[in-house]
Amino acid sequence: MATPAEDRAASATPEAAIEAAFEAGAKGMERRRRSVALLALSTLLAMSAWFSTGAVGPALQEARNYSGSDLTWMAVAVQAGFVSGTLVIALLNIGDIFRPQRVYLIGAVVAAVAAISLLPDQTASPAIASRFAIGVALAAVYPIGMKIVAGWYRSGRGLVLGVMIGALSLGSGLPHLFGSLFDPDWEPAIIGAAVATLIGGLLVAFFVPSGPFTAKAAPFRPRYFLEVLRQRPTVLATGGYLGHMWELYAMWTWMPVFLLGIVGERTVLSGSFELSKVLTFAVFAAGAAGCVAAGFGSERWGRTRSASAAMIASGTIAVFIGFLPTDLEVLIVVLALIWGFAVVADSAQFSTAMSELADPDYLASALALQTALGFLLTILSIRLLPIVEGEAGWGVAFAMLAVGPALGTLSMMRLRRLPEAAAMAGGRR
């Protein structure tokens, strides 16, 4: 069943028939799959800069005498920079006015330079500033990449965006392997993340064309974000995303510390890798699988059901995993992997819902605003979690995160009841 947006596009211009023929043709299908595969690979590489500092935190702390608070502020600075960057993109319609591949490349290059700027010896303040710059730059990568993907698909967006965000999850976990492999020499891990980010940008700039459903360059419309915040469907889609984000990045940021406390400083593979970091990477990798699984589920059962199922699963584990006795090591690790699978599985579905509910001419601006609000919330949860953990332990700290999925599920269920929700997932809502 075609969505209202598809029906409008099909009747609006003769170009729609050409686009449909392109989509159906074997050559068009091949180009589409290749473009999405390259974009997923690029996302995996480019987003590795995000957690590059956190992955080498202990070694960096020892080498530079940074405090634990300094490392926390470095993590928060990336989030704050990303929020700032996405707000600028949303307000100035940058992703809708300029060619998205060019914006993506600029973001990746700046992120790589900002990552590598950590190498010279420096105090905590410039290091925090460089992490802020990484966040600003990656704002031109993540939401812009989602717009490029949406330009290749109308039906099936939930799955392909799930693949892309699965790549983001895997890429976010890569620095933990880098950091473990080179520990205590943290510099190669930073260099590796920077090079990966640069390669990711080049892949999109030179090998990923715009799809047939990419909207033409839109006129400047700085007040569009107000429309997103006024329309009930996009507000509820964003509400679900906010609940999801309250949990996700706090969990991702502090899971390495939690697992280190569970398994200690043991190593594996003849001492080549720290067990806690390998397990942390496995949590991120499980998230990549979760994104793909939820993408399939969303196309079959709908966006709201798929996202809600993931939030219920992740929120349930958050409630009790931190209360388990530490000697139940195997059980805790298994639950952490399941949590990693569920905690990010729903992420693509909020973006996909926005792509189906918002004005297609200003899709990049709508996605940037949604992500800006979500990442703004992560600053609070990331900063608050270690404070609560210090006062009350991991049990209360992780249980606090479950509030987000609970409210996010409520928001998605309300969205499901709206008539406008029929525009999602071919009517499966």
Tens-place pLDDT, residues 316-372: 999 999 999 998 999 999 999 999 999 999 988 888 888 888 877 777 778 888 888
Inter-residue contact 9 to 16 (CB < 8 Å): yes
**Dihedral angle over CA of 191, 195, 200, 202, nearest 10:** 150
In a domain, 105, yes or no: yes
In a domain, 207, yes or no: yes
pLDDT at residue 9 tops 70: no
pLDDT digits (tens, 9 = 90+) for 293-312: 988 888 888 889 999 999 99
In a domain, 319, yes or no: yes
Residue 104: pLDDT band with limits 50, 70, 90: very high
pLDDT at residue 8 tops 60: no
CA distances from residue 280 to 72, 274, 286 in whole angstroms, order as listed: 18, 10, 10
Question: What CATH number has the domain bearing residue 252?
Answer: 1.20.1250.20
In a domain, 155, yes or no: yes
Percentages helix, strand, coil for the chain, rounded to the nearest 5? 80, 0, 20
Inter-residue contact 372 to 83 (CB < 8 Å): yes
In a domain, 313, yes or no: yes
In a domain, 38, yes or no: yes
In a domain, 1, yes or no: no
Inter-residue contact 184 to 267 (CB < 8 Å): no
- Dist CA 7 CA 1 (whole Å): 10
Q: Which segments of 153-312 are extended strands (E)?
A: 267-268, 273-274
Inter-residue contact 168 to 197 (CB < 8 Å): no
In a domain, 42, yes or no: yes
> How many structural domains does the chain have?
1
Q: Structure pTM? A: 0.76
- Smallest Cα–Cα separation from 274: which of 178, 384, 210? 178
Domain hosting residue 51, numbered range = 13-213+224-427
Q: What percent of the chain has pLDDT over 70?
A: 86
- Dist CA 247 CA 377 (whole Å): 10
Inter-residue contact 214 to 151 (CB < 8 Å): yes
pLDDT digits (tens, 9 = 90+) for 215-229: 666 566 666 767 777
